[in-house]
Structure 1
Amino acid sequence: MIPEPAPTVRELLAFYLEAGVDCALTEEPIDRLAELDAPPPAPRAAPPVEAPRPVSAPAVMRGEAAPAPDVAIASARDAARTAPTLEALRELMQGFEGCALKHTATRLVFADGNPQARIMFVGEAPGRDEDIEGLPFVGRSGKLLDLMIGAIGLNRTTAYIANVIPWRPPGNRTPTPQETQICLPFIQRQIELVNPDLLVTLGNPSTQTLLGTREGIMRTRGRWFEYETGARTIRALPTFHPAYLLRSPSYKRLAWQDLRTIAKVLAG
């Protein structure tokens, strides 16, 4: 048999990119096989254990060492509630250092659309295209979302779009519960400031995070929930994430039912 030619560097890079490997974790490659053969390092004396020192909330904003998750969550909560406007909230999030995702993402993905809109769509986290452009839902799933809302007479000038997580997780991995809880106060404040008449959660993660349910999207989609901002109650409707519909197009029929429900409410 004639051996297949070795892939070129361009072909390898294309393969890695398609697999979601689009960022380097270290400056130099690591030979994992060589590590297995290397002698174990000599034991070192354990450093003295010191009692943990609390990290104040301002330290997170000054860019010092990342605090423990509970401290970061409290800091995010304190910072978010002080934002009087969406622009002030964006600036706070730009300076927030309590979430490690910020340091692996290219940029903050804050929101897109009309902040005066009556309807707000919230997904889970940005992907590769969103990380590059700094806007939510601009990749394949974003194009489908545009078609979906366009079918009921909406577009990005009449709707507001955001994510629970404003920074792309490396390789599009699922955000950890700690990362979600750290970012939660920011999207909650964002919803308060936009103050829409209708909140649409896209997919299971954003639905469970914002609406406090443990049920899956198959049970929650198409059902009305109440979202409390502290100042008012907003009607909330979960539906499928466009990325899920790209993988499972047979569920577009159910998504269309949800869209018709949304259109009816907005027309009422």
Structure 2
Amino acid sequence: MPKDKYIRQVKNQENSMKDELKNSVKDQLLKKGLYEELKKNTIRKKLMSRWAITSEVTGIIFLLLFILFVFYSTSMILEETEPPKYYGPIFAALFLVGYFSIVTTGLLSDKHVKRNYKDRYEFLRHKFSFKTLFKSTSIINFNMGILYSIQCDAIFDYLKQNGKTGDTKIIDYLIEYYTDESERIRKKRWIPFAILIALSLPTWTLFIRSLFEEGWSNVGFVLFLSLLVGLTIMVTFIKRILDALLFKVPNDYLHLANILRTINSF
């Protein structure tokens, strides 16, 4: 892919080099400005109050403690040491406090959205219900429709301020740029992580095998369930960490391209 593919060219004139440089700088400033505008309109900045964020952090801490406790108990069993009986209530307490803290985050977020966006986005608000307690993707993200509308409005206003809303060619060009850049960055960052998974898979397999062969007969029902829940939560956290650290930029670029497609259809 040519390095300057996404630097728009201008027609040759007497001072074409100067005009080309000027246009290129404008392009880069526009791309950077759009991305900065997206970062100003995130779920925590727009849909969550300070109390909602505090509740979310509390839930994450307790769930992480739950995972650590489960794996510590599992290591005790592998060393042929029986975990104390009070570990069961501790497992339950850590999980319930963590889970309902996340649920509280959803309730506080919904209250924040209702208070701040009642007039403009009320028709998009997904009211919190009992069913959302059993949908992990809905506990916090059930008002993502409102966030998407806020982001579309912000990006549209930014394009309007820069006189780009009437030019569908420029928007198509930006969509192509963000889509291709997202794919390029994702491929580049995924390679070392894929190698790490390949190298660590044998170690993980040996751990599971030893769990079954050496100590599984001594694992109580509560610990068995806790281990399954802990593994599920751990996988979820790993995915979120990867999204936040490795794939945040490519995910944001792809999301920005989708927003621009929506704006282009206005």
Band of TM-score, shorter chain: under 0.3
Question: How high is the TM-score relative to the length of structure 1?
Answer: 0.20
Could you say which structure has the higher strand fraction? 1
Higher helix share: 2
TM-score, normalisation: structure 2 = 0.20
Higher gyration radius (CA): 2
